A and B are shown apart, each in its own frame.
Chain A
Amino acid sequence: MEKPVLNVQDLHISFSVYGGEVQAVRGVNINVNSGEAIAIVGESGSGKSVTAQAIMRLISTPPGRINKGQIWFNDKDLLALSEKEMQQVRGRDIGMIFQDPMTSLNPTMTIGMQIMEGIMKHKGLSKDKAKERAIELLNLVGIPNAESRMKQYPHQFSGGMRQRVVIAIALACDPNLIIADEPTTALDVTIQAQILSLMKQLQKSQQTSIILITHDLGIVADLCDRVFVMYAGEVVETGTKYEIFKNPQHPYTKGLLRSLPRLDQSKDEPLIPIFGSPPDLIAPPAGCSFCSRCQDAMNICATEAPETTTISSTQTVRCWLQQAKLEGVQSPAEEGVNV
């Protein structure tokens, strides 16, 4: 198997808040291969954005703290780098696209300067060369009249156009990896379609790896190769997009898919929501974190956290139901318990 570009191992992150220590990320493992697009999905508060920020070392300490784990990026452990070394990685090796195109650009700098800044710093190009490259990038992301647009400020751009600029900045130094944190959430569907088709095109032509963080399962089906489902700071299931959509194993993944209306679903067929809300991560549950909302929960689920079970060479799940099958223990349905 080829060596992954990025390998996150056993990452633990916490934030100290008034009420105690929030265990935002609890033992996350994620790997990304070269030229591959992976998705991290989960609801707000599941730790997906925090994981992405940790990869970029953007967690401010305090209140945040990375308690344990390694982030291997092309043979370097990013967590062991000094801030100065890390600055060489940010923008050059890893690019980041933030959610809100309205606030992620500097309002007092021209668009051109914001793109050129990284190019001059990381590539050591002269101002003229950097300008050429910036115009080339604006053309690449589909901004017309690139040359005159270079001199304009962010407020002169629409939301979709700004997000293109953010993408151009992320691409400026040909990074190996792009982290896109909800890149289209703030945009309308027709603009979202433009941005997604642009990202797909770039992934193919530049062989860039992509980590896409989203809660929209439709986008995942469109853009990604593999999926990591996060819940309460843990990866509860991972697999190829076909495995996750066609053969989900974790009750949370199944629940997420069931709670979306199918296009052929009539009003008489109610949606199946996941009841309850996620656990408080100041005092994470001792057992499985999904236990309190799970309709198939067994006694063991409340007391012991499940191990990772391998379903196929690409799919793994953390759920006692799967482990029970492997070890010949009866599932609640088989025991005749009402579920």
Chain B
Amino acid sequence: MNLKVANDDAFIQVNNLSKFFSVGNGRVLKAVNDISFTIKKGETLGLVGESGCGKSTAGRTITRLYEPSTGSVMIDGVNITSLSRRRLKDYRRKMQMIFQDPYASLNPRLTVEDIVGEALDIHKLVSNKLERRRKVVELLELVGLNEEHLTRHPHEFSGGQRQRIGITRALAVQPEFIVCDEPISALDVSIQAQIVNILIDLQKKFGLTYLFVAHDLSIVKYMSDRVAVMYLGKIVEYAKSEDLYSNPQHPYTKALLSSIPIPDPELEENKNRIVLTGDLPSPINTPSGCAFRTRCPYAMEKCKLEVPVTKEVKQEHFVACHLTD
């Protein structure tokens, strides 16, 4: 599988990455199965798919919160999958994560100052208390919070504010790459836009590179330069945002896009919705050949026998489907 956008300007390069979990009785859950992609510096890659498709595991394996089973991740030319724990710590500064649940991802016993300051301590970025406080305030101001929030605990904040604290914590160590794992899906609609705007502002300000994992396809389209669609641990389609949305090639992408309800009654009435039958198969016992064939309206005999190879159907538009042969 080869999804390389001109290699020289790739900041993040994921090569044939897999993450398998052993689930007992010799059975293996292939959460991420041989995925490859690159992200250019300052760009956002959206990673979409249904729950259980492996998108969050992919995000966590790339930041080495999970040890990859096979494959490698290069950040700025350095293979982080082979680094020792000690060397990895320096690279943790370069890559940070924003989590989905703003209620569960902040320590309820710490004040905001300590939640954000902890990262500064670990990486020895400040030398004394005063400097630490000044730095935390500076960071809080980037996301629209301020000094008076320093001494408060997470329960004193709304969901949107908590997510901002999570973003502040990620920013504290001046990372270059941030994995955003469903950062807005736990928030109300009126609050989601606030967080999305903050993420985009910060990206412009600091030249951040994002991997944006989400299932809300309209937000992904808005946020991302490129989008990768995952199904059962594999990337089935990968293209520039506009290309993917205007000209989807894989039947799964087509179904996924047509399933999103659009908040416009006229568009909604004229839409031709592709309703897939059945559920996602178990990732422990994946179908032979193409993993999507059990739900694909166009499945052929070949799909049962051969795993489709990823091909570049148009410039920088990759698809893994026998139909595009």
Binary CB contact string for chain A from 167 to 183 against chain B (1 if under 8 A, 0 otherwise): 00000000000000000
Task: Looking at the assembled complex, report how far the CB atom of B194 sits from the nearest CB atom of chain A, in whole angstroms.
Answer: 4
Binary CB contact string for chain A from 262 to 306 against chain B (1 if under 8 A, 0 otherwise): 010101001111110100000000000000000000000000000
Q: Chain B residue with minimal CB distance to A158? A: B279
Task: Looking at the assembled complex, report how far the CB atom of B157 sits from the nearest CB atom of chain A, in whole angstroms.
Answer: 10
Q: Chain B residue with minimal CB distance to A269? A: B222
Is there a chain B Cβ closer than 8 Å to A100's Cβ?
no
Q: Report the interface size for chain A: residues with CB under 8 A from the other chain.
A: 42
Is there a chain B Cβ closer than 8 Å to A261's Cβ?
yes
Q: Which residues of A contact B200 (CB under 8 A)?
A: 267, 270
Task: Looking at the assembled complex, report how far the CB atom of B228 sits from the nearest CB atom of chain A, in whole angstroms.
Answer: 17
Q: A221-B268, A274-B190 are in contact. Are A261 and B276 (CB under 8 A)?
A: no
Task: Looking at the assembled complex, report how far the CB atom of B198 sits from the nearest CB atom of chain A, in whole angstroms.
Answer: 10
Is there a chain A Cβ closer than 8 Å to B218's Cβ?
yes
Would A259 and B189 count as touching, CB distance under 8 A? yes
Q: A43-B190, A194-B275 are in contact. Are A261 and B221 (CB under 8 A)?
A: yes
Would A260 and B218 count as touching, CB distance under 8 A? yes
Stretch at the interface among B59-67, B122-130, B255-263, B304-312: B255-263
Docked complex Cα distance between A160 and B158 (Å): 31
Point out the residue from B197, B245, B259, B268 that lies within 8 Å of A270, measured CB to CB: B197
Is there a chain B Cβ closer than 8 Å to A161's Cβ?
yes
Is there a chain A Cβ closer than 8 Å to B322's Cβ?
no
The A-contacting residues of B in range 295-309, CB under 8 angstroms, are: none
Docked complex Cα distance between A193 and B273 (Å): 8
Main secondary structure of the interface of B (DSSP, over half): helix
Total A-B contacts with CB atoms under 8 angstroms apart: 111
Would A263 and B245 count as touching, CB distance under 8 A? yes
Binary CB contact string for chain B from 247 to 268 against chain A (1 if under 8 A, 0 otherwise): 0000000011011111111011
Task: Looking at the assembled complex, report how far the CB atom of B100 sits from the nearest CB atom of chain A, in whole angstroms.
Answer: 14
Docked complex Cα distance between A220 and B261 (Å): 8
Docked complex Cα distance between A196 and B50 (Å): 17
Is there a chain A Cβ closer than 8 Å to B219's Cβ?
yes
Q: Which residues of B contact A270 (CB under 8 A)?
A: 197, 200
The A-contacting residues of B in range 145-163, CB under 8 angstroms, are: 158, 160
Would A256 and B222 count as touching, CB distance under 8 A? no
Would B51 and A188 count as touching, CB distance under 8 A? yes
Q: Chain A residue with minimal CB distance to B271? A: A222
The B-contacting residues of A in range 215-237, CB under 8 angstroms, are: 215-222
Is there a chain A Cβ closer than 8 Å to B4's Cβ?
no
Docked complex Cα distance between A43 and B197 (Å): 19
Q: Chain B residue with minimal CB distance to A242? A: B265
Docked complex Cα distance between A189 and B256 (Å): 7
Main secondary structure of the interface of A (DSSP, over half): helix
Q: Chain B residue with minimal CB distance to A293? A: B190
Interface bin, chain B: 35 or more
Docked complex Cα distance between A242 and B259 (Å): 21
Docked complex Cα distance between A265 and B245 (Å): 12
Docked complex Cα distance between A241 and B265 (Å): 7
Would A192 and B259 count as touching, CB distance under 8 A? yes
Q: Which residues of B contact A161 (CB under 8 A)?
A: 279
Is there a chain B Cβ closer than 8 Å to A4's Cβ?
no
Point out the residue from A221, A246, A257, A273 that lies within 8 Å of B191, measured CB to CB: A273
Q: Which residues of A contact B255 (CB under 8 A)?
A: 190
Instruction: Give the one of B50, B158, B260, B277 with max A CB within 10 A.
Output: B260
Q: Which residues of B contact A43 (CB under 8 A)?
A: 188-191
Task: Looking at the assembled complex, report how far the CB atom of B209 sits from the nearest CB atom of chain A, in whole angstroms.
Answer: 14
Point out the residue from B160, B218, B277 that lies within 8 Å of A261, measured CB to CB: B218
Q: Chain A residue with minimal CB distance to B192? A: A259
Docked complex Cα distance between A43 and B189 (Å): 7
Q: Which residues of A contact B259 (CB under 8 A)?
A: 189-190, 192-193
Is there a chain A Cβ closer than 8 Å to B196's Cβ?
yes
Docked complex Cα distance between A192 and B221 (Å): 20
Task: Looking at the assembled complex, report how far the CB atom of A118 sits from the nearest CB atom of chain B, in whole angstroms.
Answer: 26
Is there a chain A Cβ closer than 8 Å to B215's Cβ?
yes
Q: Which residues of B contact A273 (CB under 8 A)?
A: 190-194, 197
16 A-B interface contacts by CB (under 8 A): A189-B256, A189-B260, A197-B275, A218-B260, A218-B261, A219-B261, A221-B261, A245-B263, A246-B265, A256-B189, A259-B190, A260-B218, A260-B263, A272-B193, A273-B191, A273-B197
On A, residues with C-beta under 8 Å from B are 43-44, 158, 160-161, 188-194, 196-197, 215-222, 241-242, 245-246, 255-257, 259-261, 263, 265, 267, 270-275, 277
